[in-house]
Structure 1
Amino acid sequence: MKQEEFDKLKKAGEIAQKVIAYAKEIVKKEVPLLEIANKIDKKIEELGARPAFPVNLSINEVAAHFTPNFNDQKVAKGLIKVDIGIQIDGYVADTAFSIDLDNSEENKKLIEAAKIGLDAALEKFGVGVEIGEIGAAVEEAIKEKGFVPVRNLTGHQIKRFDLHAGMSIPSYATSQTEKLEEGVYAVEPFSTNGAGRVRDGNPSNIYHLTNEGNVRDNFARKVLNFIQEEYSSLPFCSRWIYNEFGSKGILALRQIEQAGLLHHYPQLVEMNRGIVAQAEHTIILKGNEKIITTKN
């Protein structure tokens, strides 16, 4: 890894820490999710970075992949997961926390289980470690708290402009013997009092470009060019398109999706509608060094 790349990754992590601290101040019960998302977007830009993906504000049984649209009326409540990505020139920091807005003992225990699962993974993490060992450590830690990990959500390797690159990091015991190599990883256990699996739910308002191509409508081509230049292969959301182009931009987004050029992420919902908590950090493995960029 070149020093310039390392420095940008570190800087993204430092900004992520500041954004997380800010988010913990503004995420309050009954505050509109749209207000929270817009404030987080603005804070990231004020700190000299850009979002690596739209902030996820996923509540209760929705484990991941929800962000408010431009006219969303939903408010913060329950157990909310706040998943934030920061990018500097395509170098990414990915981090998340969960907060209980219902003063629920069950929610608090779930959040603690996710944190302990993350700590167990980070303790094991290192070049040459088998990923199955990491999954086993996470599962054991979460089960000791009386819950189960979400088995079909994993941590992931990160590369420039690529959030899910190559290796996946399980959160349960497996026989996988693939070993960690130098690089950047997001480690993100999810704990639940449900079945321990998620299914696809409603559309999330989050997209990314999947195919090259074009659209017939001139305005839709303008929006497509904007998406290509602004977001490259990273995820974006309908809210950002509306902010740039207004309601015509939303119509253009539908045309681009219908042309088969976009993937529209579904919300990820716990199979038994169990409550889900999440904890996440980004880690760089560089020789014998283990640098958690998103942790103080």
Structure 2
Amino acid sequence: MDEEELKNYEKAGKIAKEIREWSKSLIKPGKKLLEVAEEIENKIKESGADPAFPVNICVNDVAAHYTPKFNDNLELGENDIVSIDIGVHVNGYIADTAYTIDLSNSYKDMLKCNQEALKEAISLISPDTSVSEIGKVVEDVTASYGYKPIENLTGHQIERYNLHAGISIPNIEVPYDWKIKEGMVLAIEPFATDGYGRVLESKIAEIFSLKAFKSCRLKEGRLLLKKLEPRKGLPFAKRWFSKDISPLKLDLVLRELVAIDAIKPYFMLHEKERGKVSQFEHTVIVLEDGCKVIT
């Protein structure tokens, strides 16, 4: 990794960390999810960066891939457990971080074990560490508190304009032994649950990413593809374009673009047994003798 790349990653990480800590004050009963998402995304832009993906706000049994709709009226409740996943990019260099707040004060142990699992996983990261070793420590720490990791959600390698590149970092022990290499950028994100320990896809998709530029029948589809060019494949929210294209037409456009394989939908994921879910995440750069947390 050259000096310019490192500088961009560190800037993205610094902004992500600052916004993560600032955003915690937004998470309170009665606050609308849409307001939280928009305030965080606007703060990222004000900080001289851009969202690497739409802010994910996952409540209770929802584990991943939920961002509010353009007219979302959902509010946080006093008994909710709320996970916020934030991505920041500077010139395509991405930092990814997440945290969970328990408004009910009923899941302190689950959050504690989740944070400990993240800390222990990061402590193992250095060149030639097996990803299975990392998954095993997450699984063991989580189980020691009586909870389960989410077996089919993983951390991931990050590259420029590529949020999920190369290897995955499992949250359970696995039968393959991919190795960590110096210079890799990794998002380490254990999840914990009091449910089954697996997520299922819903039919709800508010997040998409561009796969390929293809000929689109609708002129609004061509407009959308043009507007997506600067993101170079990074995920986007449907609501980001609700002022450019009417909501009804936007649904038709997205449906057509999915059908012709021009864009990919990210369906909301929920815990199999509707168990509560928590998530904590940092982005790290692998060094010669360990790793550096940039978030």
Is 1:66 matched up with 2:66? yes
Which residues of 2 match residues 41-80 of structure 1 at below 5 A? Answer: 41-77=41-77, 78-80=80-82
Which residue matches 2:85? 83
Q: Which moved more, 1:211-220 or 1:48-57?
A: 211-220
- Could you state the TM-score of these two structures normalised by the residue count of structure 2? 0.95
Which residues of 2 match residues 162-201 of structure 1 at below 5 A? Answer: 162-182=162-182, 183-201=184-202
Letter in 2 for 1:186: A
CA–CA distance in 1 between the matches of 2:36 and 2:18? Answer: 15
Instruction: Decide whether the 8 Å contact of 2:23 with 2:40 is kept in 1.
Output: yes
Q: Deviations over 1:163-183 (max 9, x none)?
A: 111101111122322210121
Which residue matches 1:156? 156
Which residue matches 1:8? 8
How many Å apart are 1:60 and its aligned residue?
0.7
Q: Deviations over 1:224-276 (max 9, x none)?
A: 1111x232211001111114444354543333233331111111111111111
Counterpart secondary structure, 2:53:
strand
Counterpart secondary structure, 2:54:
strand
Which residues of 2 match residues 231-250 of structure 1 at below 5 A? Answer: 231-247=231-247, 248-250=249-251
Q: Deviations over 1:167-224 (max 9, x none)?
A: 0111112232221012100000000111111110132300011233120222321121
How many Å apart are 1:136 and its aligned residue?
0.9
CA–CA distance in 2 between the matches of 1:9 and 1:219? Answer: 35
How many Å apart are 1:157 and its aligned residue?
0.5
Which residues of 2 match residues 83-122 of structure 1 at below 5 A? Answer: 83-104=85-106, 107-122=107-122
Instruction: Decide whether the 8 Å contact of 2:169 with 2:188 is kept in 1.
Output: yes
Instruction: Decide whether the 8 Å contact of 1:44 with 1:51 is kept in 2.
Output: yes
Instruction: Decide whether the 8 Å contact of 2:213 with 2:225 is kept in 1.
Output: no
CA–CA distance in 1 between the matches of 2:69 and 2:286? Answer: 36
CA–CA distance in 2 between the matches of 1:177 and 1:256? Answer: 37
Aligned residues: 291
Structure 1 residues 119 and 289, CA gap change in structure 2 (3 angstroms): closer
Q: Percent identity?
A: 39
Q: Which structure 2 residue ranges, 5 or more long, are not aligned?
A: none
CA–CA distance in 2 between the matches of 1:246 and 1:41? Answer: 22
CA–CA distance in 2 between the matches of 1:260 and 1:174? Answer: 31
Instruction: Decide whether the 8 Å contact of 2:121 with 2:138 is kept in 1.
Output: yes
CA–CA distance in 1 between the matches of 2:265 and 2:174? Answer: 30
- Could you state the TM-score of these two structures normalised by the residue count of structure 1? 0.94
Structure 1 residues 244 and 9, CA gap change in structure 2 (3 angstroms): farther
CA–CA distance in 2 between the matches of 1:208 and 1:266? Answer: 12
Which residue matches 1:26? 26
Structure 1 residues 245 and 22, CA gap change in structure 2 (3 angstroms): farther
CA–CA distance in 2 between the matches of 1:135 and 1:260? Answer: 33
Letter in 2 for 1:28: K
Q: Which structure 1 residue ranges, 5 or more long, are not aligned?
A: none
CA–CA distance in 2 between the matches of 1:5 and 1:243? Answer: 34
CA–CA distance in 1 between the matches of 2:95 and 2:133? Answer: 24
Instruction: Decide whether the 8 Å contact of 1:241 with 1:250 is kept in 2.
Output: no
CA–CA distance in 1 between the matches of 2:176 and 2:221? Answer: 45
Is 1:255 matched up with 2:271? no
